[in-house]
Structure 1
Amino acid sequence: MDQSITRVHEHTQKGGSLWPFKPMSGLYCDVFLILSWLAVWQIGRLVEYTEHASVWFPAAGYTLACFLVIGWRALVPIMIAAIAITVWNGHHYSLPLSNSELMWGGFLFGIAHIIPYFAGASVLGHLLRKPDVTTPLLIVSFLMIGCVSSLIATQLVIGSLVVTSQMPAADVKDAMLPFWIGDMAGVVVLAPLFTGFLVKVCAAPKIDLLAFSSNNPPHLTRYFKKVAINVALIVLVMLLAKITQSRDSAFAIFFLAITHMWIACTESTKRNVISLAISSLCIVLLVHTLALMDYVKVYQFALNVIAANALFGIAIPQLQADNALLKDRVFVDSLTQAYTREYLAQRSALEMAQSRESGNSLYFVMFDLDKFKRINDELGHVDGDEALRNLSQVTKSALRKTDVFARFGGDEFVLLLPNISKQNALNLVERVREGINAITVSNVALSSSFGVTLMQQDDSLETLIQRADRALYASKEKGGNTITLI
């Protein structure tokens, strides 16, 4: 991710996105940031339930996203916007302050608001640019940064409001918690959405989100149905709170954690973030429309908890994919796609236990290529690898679904043949031998030798290997290209 800050833009230009507008830079970008920040701030004011406290504060998430995507260049536009909104606020609330006093208050507010989110974005951006960062680590870091940054911003901003006579000191105690939770909701719920938006509209973003994005899966209709179910649930539980006028009923909103985890585990990162934004917007609008301000702290906490839960859900598909990849690396040989020796040890223990319990036969076969060292020395390791890959393909085509084919080491391979008669086992091995005989690499025909043994009740994997190895050695003594059963 650290190779180029323009990869996202290049990806867009190549058709990786449906965003139709040319990314902005320079003065156009600065003006856009000022206007968009003011618009986002006004969205928060729509659901303000007391002075300086909103159900959520989208501007906090937008500020963090601006610094994360654009860096220090966002400082001046956000400061200008902070001063402008403070002057507007002073007139809106009829504060007994002159324009110069409001501008000074806006400057202090800007500093108090900018410092925590700039610091948080710097730490988060550093993590994003590390090549080995994982999605779970990124999510935990984001949630911690959002919590701490919003807490520090709350304390600094309230302090600046008191110092500039925009808030009475007596109101600080009651305003601190709702102010902080509202800011944190704006960061946790909306910063991911704002970040993805800014990456598309601003030229040369400082971060690359491609490594943490996934293509939208199919079934867009199913996604819309999930969102519709989510919205319906929000409406029902909030109507319940309105009808019953009970704080206990308001806590039903936490059931949204279930549906959002469902979306997080089955949809792409982008769709998950969008659904979070839709749900949070529905909640804050219904708090205002249904006059549920008495329960506003319940809904504020719910927004944060549901968002954190859903963001952790994003990591589940990646963890599953990482676990599957790790399992493949441990249990599947990268060259031949045969199972590894580690898998053979585990599967052998299972097959041997089942054979003892059922009384069914289990044949153990060890084989290798004749004169493989000579192939490597005379033709080269590229041809040697090609010989092993061809051997693997031929062998797999001759096996049953219940059989196990593993690479034991070098050019040595093992077969586990459960629940099979002696004659059928030998016929199967013969088909493998004939298939290998038909392989040519650089005009050199291949051949192989086999050692076959039947598991006895007192056998261990080690004794099976030893006996099959003796049988393989006997085949070599006969001149190779043959099968020996002992």
Structure 2
Amino acid sequence: MSKFRSISKVASLQLVLMLGWILIYQTARLLEYSPHASLWYPPAALSFAAMTLLGARAFPAIFLASLLTSFIHYQQYGAAEAVPYFAVTLPSLAHAGSYLLGALLLRILIRTGQVNYSAMLVAYLLLAAAAAFLAAFSGSWSLQYEGVLDNAQRQSIWLGWWIGDLVAILSLSPFIVLLIDKLTANNLATHLPWLLRHGNGPLPDYLLKLFVCLMLLIVSMLIAHQVQAQEITFLILSLSLPTMWLVYTESVWRSFCGLAIISLTIAMLMAQLDLEAFAVIYQFTIAMISVSMLFGTVVPVLQSTNQQLLHSLHTDPLTGVLSRQGFFEQAEMLLAWAAQHKDKICLAVIDLDHFKQVNDVLGHQAGDRVLQEVCQTLSKQLRQQDLIGRFGGDELMLLLPDTAENEAMQLCERLRNSIEQLQIQVLQRHVTVTVGVCEHHPDENFSQLFLRADKTLLNAKKLGRNRVELDINSAVVGS
């Protein structure tokens, strides 16, 4: 049964890719501004995207779809009688084989894990250009071999063929890769988690950015249609500004979707507004915007990565509370605020009693469980403005803004009692903690405050543990 399901899944994938390729091919023909002349060739984008994501598994579907459309094409134009059917396979083989080669090289590079995102984009652009060149060059030669083109015709079309394929790959392949991954559950997020980590903002904001891009695009092309001057067509280059706004502030998904919509709109309007005389300019525009947006995705990816790095530096991975560095940084800011506004603020240092015995007898996993439950208990009972952090090992810290020493003592006593009532399954006894509390002195930095609190904690341990002690110097200095 599992083997049958696997075969069925593969067959379904091949069928979907074939139908998608043929549908895109037929749609692209509707966008031709003259017979066999279009701004781009979208099937090339699907071929390169599918093979980049799926590897050789996508080759049969792409080859068969290209072969089928070639047969239909020859029959429509009466070429089937002049060209043997087996010869029709050459252009399809050239197309599918060229993009398979480029995609496999890109897959190998990505799977090494030795390249960062910027280098990956450079490799994508170079291999896409090389694959498109190979497809155009070998495809035009195959048509000459079949007798469909003579040598002069081949030399005149291969460059436009190459550019058309490349423009489509640059503008459509990124979105198609994400779409295929979504449909096939190929888990792109598992291999490139940092690429899809940046979240989406409000949908209306995204639609506004896309609307601005499309309106600027439409207005510039309508003006070009009215004036019919080459200089005016360069107005469309101003589209680079709102597209950068879009890509810098939105997720990769939305950015690549917007890029596909923008490039599709340019192709549609050029065909409808009779702007074929400026086709090269619009091809250049799509390519420039595509490359800019591709590299523009580095910004949100880098921003997301930095946020994750900052979070990991400031958060203790075991307990989820602030790390030592994160606690110290926020504590310094709160102390400065308290000193400026003459507010009371207290620090409590907490030590889990006999925690080393838990690790030695029950193991570190049991010790980790104890730490996690203690931190959860503390977090639930603290106020929103209070800070909780882990200094290291079994030592925790609480910073209590707008709190005098007597209030801090009452709060810490309540916390101590709550922890003592904890029922932790891995332990045969209750957990207890010892707490040292200090009130902040004027002109005292956090390191000095922490040193006093730590000494108070040591004094509490000497007095018998499972208790809350106040620094005896707090009241003296504060009076």
Give the TM-score normalised by the residue count of structure 2. Answer: 0.75
Aligned partner of 1:181 in structure 2 is 163
Aligned partner of 1:117 in structure 2 is 99
Aligned partner of 2:476 in structure 1 is none
For the pair 1:84 / 2:84, whether they are aligned, the reply is no
For the pair 1:393 / 2:376, whether they are aligned, the reply is yes
Deviation at 1:444?
Answer: 2.7
Q: In 1, distance between residues paired with 2:446 and 2:319?
A: 23
Aligned partner of 1:479 in structure 2 is 464
Secondary structure of the structure 2 residue equivalent to 1:181: helix
Q: Which of 33, 36, 60 is the matching residue for 1:73?
A: 60
Q: In 2, distance between residues paired with 1:219 and 1:294?
A: 40
User: Deviations 1:372-416 (Å, cap 9, x if unpaired)?
Assistant: 233445565555434323332343345444432211111111223
- 5+ residue gaps, structure 2: 474-479
Q: In 1, distance between residues paired with 2:213 and 2:360?
A: 65
Contact 2:221 2:236 in 1 (8 A): yes
Cα 1:206/1:359, change in 2 over 3 Å: closer
Secondary structure of the structure 1 residue equivalent to 2:83: helix
Deviation at 1:192?
Answer: 4.3
Contact 1:451 1:472 in 2 (8 A): yes
Deviation at 1:135?
Answer: 6.9
Aligned partner of 2:128 in structure 1 is 146
Deviation at 1:341?
Answer: 1.1
Q: In 2, distance between residues paired with 1:223 and 1:460?
A: 45
Give the TM-score normalised by the residue count of structure 1. Answer: 0.75
Q: How much is the aligned-residue C-alpha RMSD, in angstroms?
A: 4.5
Contact 1:38 1:85 in 2 (8 A): no
Aligned length, in residue pairs? 458
Aligned partner of 1:14 in structure 2 is none
Aligned partner of 2:317 in structure 1 is 334
Cα 1:113/1:383, change in 2 over 3 Å: closer
User: Deviations 1:156-209 (Å, cap 9, x if unpaired)?
Assistant: 4445556666556556776555433211122122334555666788xxx79544
For the pair 1:448 / 2:430, whether they are aligned, the reply is no
Q: In 2, distance between residues paired with 1:33 and 1:333?
A: 46
Q: Answer with 170-179 or 370-379: which moved more.
A: 170-179
Secondary structure of the structure 1 residue equivalent to 2:435: strand
Q: Which of 232, 243, 256 is the matching residue for 1:249?
A: 232
Q: In 2, distance between residues paired with 1:152 and 1:456?
A: 74
Q: Which amino acid in 1 is paired with 2:226?
A: I
Q: In 1, distance between residues paired with 2:355 and 2:166?
A: 65
Q: In 2, distance between residues paired with 1:346 and 1:273?
A: 38
- 5+ residue gaps, structure 1: 1-5, 11-21
Cα 1:385/1:145, change in 2 over 3 Å: same
Contact 2:246 2:255 in 1 (8 A): yes
Q: In 1, distance between residues paired with 2:358 and 2:398?
A: 23
Alignment of 1:418-429 (within 5 A): 418=401, 420-429=403-412
User: Deviations 1:129-148 (Å, cap 9, x if unpaired)?
Assistant: 67899877665543443233
Q: Which amino acid in 1 is paired with 2:100?
A: F
Q: Which of 436, 452, 457 is the matching residue for 1:467?
A: 452
Q: In 2, distance between residues paired with 1:84 and 1:390?
A: 69
Q: In 1, distance between residues paired with 2:72 and 2:292?
A: 33
User: Of the two structures, which has the highest relative contact order with CA contacts closer than 8 Å and spacing of 6 or more?
Assistant: 1
Aligned partner of 2:47 in structure 1 is 63
Q: In 2, distance between residues paired with 1:296 and 1:329?
A: 50
Q: Answer with 183-192 or 442-451: which moved more.
A: 442-451
Cα 1:331/1:142, change in 2 over 3 Å: same
Deviation at 1:239?
Answer: 0.8
Contact 1:370 1:446 in 2 (8 A): yes
